[in-house]
């Protein structure tokens, strides 16, 4: 099992580094063709930070590891919400923009509720699953979300147009970065999925637990690094919006792509994690009106982090 753990860690490192190479190469390429920073941020960078979850889920869906598909998405969203916001908010209170409070946080809650409804097939399907039709619904909503973000940033007076500068990197180096990034993502994703299954088998725990813990935390490391650095540098207005946006991205895009690869059977035992996600998102919304207005205070962030630690401990104890 030690070898599997080493390969799993190597896979996670390849996922993170692969996403970094892909973002850097694609961003430089876009700038060479005078694509705006705004467009790059909305597309390439957003995709890059979610690329680890996307690759892992596509591979897991293709190979029929349905519990890893849901464990990675729901687990990543809970990790983002409770751990990353918890740690970032304890470093510095997180001020939240008005649009995030009234639009993005409620949209994130809507995404979790919609996932709960569609996954449990309350409309009379024979068995709980996310079908390709459900995937199309999520993907349509993702398109609308991207359009909303684009309009939001376009109308934001703080977003200034900047001249794009030519990079010193040659076309060969740029495409080398992109190809290296894609290769790292694919190989890393295979290492993560295959060795996570191996570890789960040896330990006698379910794929669900591995997906909700190790894989979810590992694929969320780019978001963790981004938010913690933002909090340390006092760019606190970015932290909550980034995490909420990532949670919407995970459900509306990554789960949709997973369902297009192959319809994903849903285990109702994941409902408890969806309750946690919905409750945590609602708690975040309420926190905007307690203590500092439109701000996640340190004690509220600590509450999020402690809630996750207690719940995860309870989850693991159930498996023992």
DSSP string, 37-66: HHHHIIIIIHHHHHHHHHHHHHHHHHTT-H
State the helix-helix crossing angle for 298-319 and 271-287, rounded to 10 degrees. 170
CB 305 within 8 A of CB 86: yes
CA-nearest of 135, 118, 134, 138 to 248 is: 138
pLDDT of residue 93: 87
Do 24 and 157 meet the contact criterion of CB atoms below 8 Å apart?
A: no
- pLDDT tens, residue by residue, 154-201: 665 555 554 445 556 778 888 888 888 888 888 888 888 888 888 888
- Cβ atoms of residues 221 and 79 within 8 Å: no
Single out the residue of 75, 81, 47, 41 nearest to residue 60, CA to CA.
Answer: 75
Evaluate if residue 124 carries a pLDDT over 80.
no
pLDDT-based confidence at residue 107 (cuts at 50, 70, 90): very high
Distance CA 207, CA 272 (A): 16
Report pLDDT digits (tens) over 196-253: 888 888 888 888 888 888 888 888 887 787 778 778 877 666 667 778 888 999 999 9
pLDDT digits (tens, 9 = 90+) for 5-61: 898 889 888 888 887 887 788 778 777 776 655 556 555 666 777 788 888 999 999
**pTM for the full predicted model:** 0.84
Strand bridging mode 129-130 / 295-296: unpaired
Q: What are phi and psi of 95, to 5 degrees?
A: -75, 140
Three-class SS of residue 230?
A: helix
* Helix spans in 204-269 (H): 207-210, 216-219, 221-232, 236-249, 255-261
The pLDDT confidence band at residue 315, using thresholds 50, 70 and 90, is: confident
Domain definitions of the chain by residue range: 2-160+168-319
Burial class (CB in 10 A: 0-12, 13-18, 19+), 9: middle
Give domain 2-160+168-319's CATH number out of 1.20.1420.30, 3.90.330.10, 3.40.50.11540, 3.40.640.10: 1.20.1420.30
How large is the average pLDDT for residues 270-284?
A: 95
* pLDDT given at position 164: 47
Among residues 94, 11, 92, 24, the alpha carbon closest in space to that of 56 is found at 11
């Amino acid at each position: 099992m030690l070898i599997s753990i080493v390969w799993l860690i190597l896979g996670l490192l390849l996922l993170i580094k692969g996403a970094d190479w892909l973002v850097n190469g694609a961003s430089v390429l876009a700038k060479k063709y005078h694509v705006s920073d705004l467009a790059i941020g909305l597309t390439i960078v957003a995709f890059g930070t979610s690329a680890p979850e996307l690759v892992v889920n596509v591979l897991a869906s293709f190979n029929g590891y349905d519990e890893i598909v849901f464990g990675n998405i729901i687990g990543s969203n809970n990790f983002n919400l409770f751990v990353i916001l918890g740690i970032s908010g304890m470093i510095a209170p997180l001020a939240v923009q008005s649009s995030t409070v009234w639009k993005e946080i409620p949209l994130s809650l809507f995404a979790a509720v919609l996932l709960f409804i569609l996954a449990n097939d309350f409309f009379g399907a024979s068995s709980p699953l996310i079908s390709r039709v459900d995937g199309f619904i999520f993907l349509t909503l993702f398109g609308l979300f991207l359009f909303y973000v684009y309009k939001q940033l376009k109308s934001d007076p703080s977003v200034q147009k900047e001249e794009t500068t030519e990079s010193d990197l040659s076309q060969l180096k740029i495409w080398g970065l992109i190809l290296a990034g894609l290769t790292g993502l694919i190989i890393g994703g295979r290492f993560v999925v295959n060795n996570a299954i191996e570890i789960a088998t040896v330990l006698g725990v379910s794929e669900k637990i591995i997906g909700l813990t190790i894989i979810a935390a590992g694929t969320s490391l780019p978001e963790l690094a981004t938010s913690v650095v933002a909090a340390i540098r006092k760019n606190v207005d970015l932290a909550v919006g980034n995490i909420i946006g990532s949670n919407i991205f995970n459900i509306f895009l990554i789960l949709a792509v997973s369902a297009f690869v192959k319809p994903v059977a849903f285990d109702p035992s994941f409902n408890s994690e969806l309750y946690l996600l919905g409750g945590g998102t609602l708690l975040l919304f309420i926190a905007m009106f307690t203590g500092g207005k439109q701000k996640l205070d340190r004690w509220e962030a600590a509450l999020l982090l402690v809630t996750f630690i207690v719940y995860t401990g309870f989850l693991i104890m159930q498996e023992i």
